[in-house]
Structures are given as structure tokens and as C-alpha cells.
Amino acid sequence: MLANKILITNCLTALYALLLCGCGPDNYARKAEEYFAIGEYYDAAEEFKKAYSNTPVKEKDKRGERAWKMAECYRRIGYSAKAAGAYQNAVRYKTGGSEAILRLAQMQHSMGKYNEAIKNYTLYLDSVPSSMEAQVGLEGCRQASVWKKKGSLYSIKKQPILASRRADYSPALYGSEWDQLYFSTTRPQAQGEELSGITGVKMADIFFSQKDDKGKWSKPEAVEGEINTGYEDGACSFSPDGKTMYFTRCTHDPEYPRYAIIMSSSRSDAAWSKPQEVKISNDTLSTFAYPAVSPDGLWLYFSSNMPGGQGGMDLWRISLGDHGVGVPENLGPQVNTFGDEVFPSFRGNGELYFSSNGHPGMGGLDLFRAEQDTAGVWSLENLGSPMNSSGDDFGMTFEGLHNRGFFSTNRGNGRGWDQIMSFECPEVVQSIRGWVYEKDGYELPDALVYMVGNNGTNLQLSVKPDGSFVQEVKPHVSYVLMGTCKGYLNHTVEIGIDTSSVSREHVLQFPLASMTDPVLIRNVFYEFDSAELTEGSTTSLDSLTTLLKENPGVTIELSSHCDYRGAEEYNQRLSQKRAESVVNYLVSKGLLAERMIPVGYGESRPKIVTRRIAEQNPFLQVGDTLTEAFILALPEEAQQEVCNALNRRTEFRVMRTTFGLP
């Protein structure tokens, strides 16, 4: 019995020793190195922490090395306070050399401990006087107190309805009225159960919130469809016409580093399609992230560490065309630095915003505004306080042209978790809001609007799904805007902008006439039982005159129609005379008679009910033909009269578009 107890005791002792050896500091360190190699910094930090804690105090070199690597992990995941403590230990054990002092200064900078950071930046510069990182950091610390004291016109506000107990970041406004807010989140409701080895929380998904008629945002929900996966999905943005979403996806491979790619998805039938990768380069060892489309829809901006940059993550752009994307272009050293330039976004007026830790700032990532002049020279402005803080501030989105919207920040959160805040900066904005739609029909989401101003403005504007567009305009400038769409005649509007001390929106309409279907000319009236035009008809006919002058290659058939009442032969003669009367009026306004063929159809071509007519008259169905038999079968006299009025009409139809061409 005693021997058995001794045997058991010896076995347990050996097993304990084996377990102790297997879970010793060197084993923790080896596992940490494996995580670090593939970019899983949260998991690596946890293992380095265990290795450091279990390393005997007398093994100073190992403790210093593990403190240094733990600090490097915490820095990469935004745990500034923990990183600062670990760097201090590395400095104490004389590990990491002078670089440990630089990194400690940067962490103190991002914690708002500017005086301590200044001391360490200065100490580092004593040994490495040429360091741009230290010079920029030192300047940022000295400017931070000035920015905080000066403040700005910006006001910011927390948004509790959008918040969770994890990271919520990179907001993007969407919709014709900017009433949808998409953003990235690692909240528990995100897909998948696996925790990220990079952050220690769930993989990010894209959620959205809807604003109601009272201006209140709804509780966020996950975007439906195949946008979200078990991978990291986030940092989305939208094309100006709202038809395409671009976002970042970071896939997972347990044996290789993680590299982000840019995905795109198209909007169809109120749903997002299956995403496809935007192939920017054949380089498989670089990251491509944080996409943003320029307001003209011609360029996709993004952040990447691909070769050819200034260092770290740079801002790049590629052209967007019908046949794919162009060659990447770096924005150059005026914008990009040795640090990271990330999260580009655009205001509706074309201003570029982004975040950087390579320009002087208040700490971490700061928000900047960038403008490029006609010579291609960039000018940058730090947005100052309260938009910027000692933490990371990034991911702006704007409510169209207005200098208001949302951004993300991790200020005041030692664990690096982000929150979404709203911002507003009051200013006077003059703009044009236009709608392009089918004449007597619906919106034309495929339309383009060309805009020329006497100040040199020359723009091509895409429209949103509802056919609308918004564009900033300048005082004392005259503009000509032409609405166009394939299969429709062009329509031009001229407008002059006056000086105004208050914001003003100028509303313009662009009704485009179909080139394939008959187009109703509204409000054309004739004297009773006569072909003579009434005075009330001139407004509509003058508009038709303008339309034909704007489209000089068009010839039309000008037709007049009657209802079934009266003799058929009589109606035929009357409608012919009325069509000729309209053509004569148009000729008197300077149009060539050869461009117009007057035809009277009498009652022979009853109106066919369109979708718009059916919506306005619920007793009718799309496709109904308003024949005499159909009308007389209607139960109410008022309904019959509506149909007779629809049949009494003047229309035109485009015959060809090559008039005057050889």
C-alpha cells in the first residue's frame, strides 16, 4: 500500500514537472512568436505577458526582450496604456535601445501625457537627431495644447443608439436623403463565434441604422445578404450614385499573415449582390483597405502598404471605368509620410479627408482635410480640437455637401475600442439639387448631368437611384446644366448664383423626353370645336420649342387625338388641323417646318394606360386601352370623363436624330 502511494506520488510529481515545463516561459514565448508572425497581436500579447510574468527576475535579458515584444503587440492593437507600461519595463531592462524610448514617447503622446512625451522625444532626438518620427511627434505635442486651447467651430456629440460594448467605427452615410448609416462593429451580434487573434474580440461585420421622419436613428441591424462573413468585413463606402458598395475584407489563414483586400457589391432590388474582389494589383503580400470613391465617381481612393509608397500605409487611387480599374497612383509626399495615412473619405464638394499619424497631431491618428490646386499641389489642414484628440480619430462621413456627419474615435478608451460620434461645423453652403426623370414618367437613375460654369467649372455628375443629384455652387457664377440619358432627348437649364449670407438650395428639374415612346405635351388647349390655340397653351409649346432647339438633329411627328364623341371623319379632320396649328406655332418661334410632321389621328389611337396613369387613377390598370367600348363599360360618369380627357391629347414622337447631317 505504501509502495503504491509512493508510486502514485512520484508519478504525480513527474507529471506536474512535465506540465510545468510544457507551460513554462519559453513555451509561452514560442507560441507568442508564432502568433506575432501571422499578425495576431492580441493573442501574441497574451502569451508574451505570460512569458514575462513567469520569467525569473534574475533573467533580465529575457524579461526585457519579452516586455519589448509585449509592448509592440499592445501598440499595434491600440492598447496605449498597456503598451506604455511594457515599454517602460523594456527601457528599465535596457532592451529595445533608443527605439524603446521613441515608442514610449508615442504611447504617452496618444494618452495625452504631452509633457512626459516631450521629454522622451527630446531624449531620443539627442541620440537620433534626424528622426522624422520624433521630430513630428515633438511638434505635435507642442501644438496639441495650442489646438486644445484654440478649439474650432466644430461641435461633436456622442450617439448612444449606435454604441455597443465593443468597437463601432468607420461610419458611412447612404441614401438620397442620407437617412441610412452603415458602420463596422465587433459587437456580440456580429456573425461567427471565433474571436479575432488580432483584437481579442469578434470579427467585424457591417451594420446599419435607419433615420425616421423625426430624425431618430433606429437600433442598428446587420446588413442582409452576403456582405458579412466569418471574416473581418468593414470600412465601407458608396459610389456617388449609390449603386455600388466598396468595403474591406480581411480573411483568415492560421499559417500566414492576414492581408486585407477591397470588395465591391452592387445594389439591385433593394439588396446587395454577392461581393467580388476589386483586383488592384497582383501583389499578394500587400494590404489594400479603406476604399472611398471620389464625388465624380471617376476614382477609387484607398490605403495600402504596397511598394512605391512613402512608408507605412499610404493613400493611393485608381481610375474606375467600364472596363475595370486603372493603374494605382500614389498621392505623393505632400500627403503621405513615413507613418500611416488611412481612412480616406470625401465631402460632397470634393474635399478629401483622411487620418494620419505621420503629420504633426494631437496623438494617434488625427483627422486632416486636403485640397489640391490646379497645379497639383496639396495643402493640408489638421482639423484640431474637438475633432482630434490624443487617441485615434478617423473615418469621417458627410451629409452631402454639408460639413456635418459622423466620425469614429477611441478617445478615453484605454482598450482601444472605438465609438461613433456626430459632428457639425456651421457654414454657408449654396447648392443645386436637381432631379432627372422621364417626362410625364419616373426617375432616370442612369442619367448623367453635365455642368459648366463661367468660372471654369466643368463637371460630369452621376445621379442617385431616385434620379437626384446635389452639387455645390459658388456666388457670382453662372452655370449651364444639361441632363442626359440614353434613349432620351437632352434638357438644359441655366442658372445664375447670387451672393447669400445664408445657406440656400436651388431646386432644378430635368424632364427628359423619350426617343422611343410618344411624349404627352401637357396643357395644350384649343378653342371649342376649333383648331385655334388658346393663350394658355403657349407655355407648354414654348418649352417644346426650347427642347427642339436644344436637340437640333431631332425630327418629330406632332400628333393630335380626339375622344370617341363626334363623327369619326369630323374628328379626323379636326385633329389634323390642330396638329398643323401646333406646328405653325413652333415654326413662328424659329423652328424649321421640315423637322415636324403634323398628323391628326382623330379617335383611331386611344390612349394605353401607363403605370403613372394607373397610379393616379386606381380604377384603371396598366395596359388598359381606352376604347369607346371600354369607357362606356365603366360604372361611373366621372370615370368615363377621365378617360375621355386622357384620349384628348397632343403628343410628339421622335422620328430620327440625324436632321441636317450629310
- Mean pLDDT of the region 282-309: 93
Q: How confident is the model at residue 118 (pLDDT cuts 50, 70, 90)?
A: very high
pLDDT of residue 546: 93
pLDDT (tens digit, 9 = 90+) per residue, 333-383?
Answer: 999 999 999 999 999 989 999 999 999 999 999 999 999 988 889 999 999
pLDDT of residue 355: 98
In this structure, what is the dihedral angle of CA atoms 415, 417, 422, 427, given to the nearest 10 degrees?
70
| Secondary-structure percent of the chain, ordered helix, strand, coil, rounded to 5 | 30, 30, 40
The single-letter code of the amino acid at 238 is F
> What are the structural domains, with CATH classification, of the chain?
20-150 (1.25.40.10), 155-424 (2.120.10.30), 430-512 (2.60.40.1120), 519-656 (3.30.1330.60)
Reference 232, options 198, 206, 213, 204; nearest CA is 204
Residue 367, Ramachandran bin (φ over 0: left; ψ between -120 and 50: alpha; else beta) = beta
pLDDT (tens digit, 9 = 90+) per residue, 33-48?
Answer: 999 988 889 999 999 9
Residue 200, Ramachandran bin (φ over 0: left; ψ between -120 and 50: alpha; else beta) = left
- Mean pLDDT of the region 601-606: 95
Angle made by CA atoms 226, 227, 230, in degrees to the nearest 5: 85
pLDDT (tens digit, 9 = 90+) per residue, 539-557?
Answer: 999 999 999 999 999 999 9
Residue 108 and residue 117 in contact, taking contact as beta carbons nearer than 8 Å? yes
- Rounded to 10 deg, the angle between the 97-110 and 60-76 helix axes is 40
pLDDT (tens digit, 9 = 90+) per residue, 269-288?
Answer: 778 999 999 999 988 889 99
Q: What is the DSSP letter of 352?
A: E
pLDDT (tens digit, 9 = 90+) per residue, 8-62?
Answer: 333 333 333 333 344 588 999 999 999 998 888 999 999 999 999 999 999 999 9
pLDDT of residue 47: 94
Reference 159, options 116, 109, 216, 201; nearest CA is 216
Q: How confident is the model at residue 7 (pLDDT cuts 50, 70, 90)?
A: very low
pLDDT of residue 14: 35
Residues 596 and 419: their CA atoms lie apart, in Å, by 64
User: Rounded mean pLDDT of the chain?
Assistant: 91
pLDDT at 165 over 60: yes
Neighbour tally for 468: CB within 10 Å:
18
* Cell numbers given for 49: 505577458
pLDDT at 414 over 60: no
Residue 620 and residue 580 in contact, taking contact as beta carbons nearer than 8 Å? no
pLDDT (tens digit, 9 = 90+) per residue, 473-527?
Answer: 999 999 999 999 999 999 999 999 988 778 899 999 999 999 999 999 999 999 9
Backbone angles phi, psi at 4, to 5 degrees: -65, -40
Alpha helices by DSSP H, listed for 77-193, are: 80-92, 97-110, 114-127, 132-150
Residues 3 and 507: their CA atoms lie apart, in Å, by 98
pTM of the full structure = 0.79
pLDDT (tens digit, 9 = 90+) per residue, 206-247?
Answer: 999 999 989 999 999 999 888 999 889 999 999 988 999 999
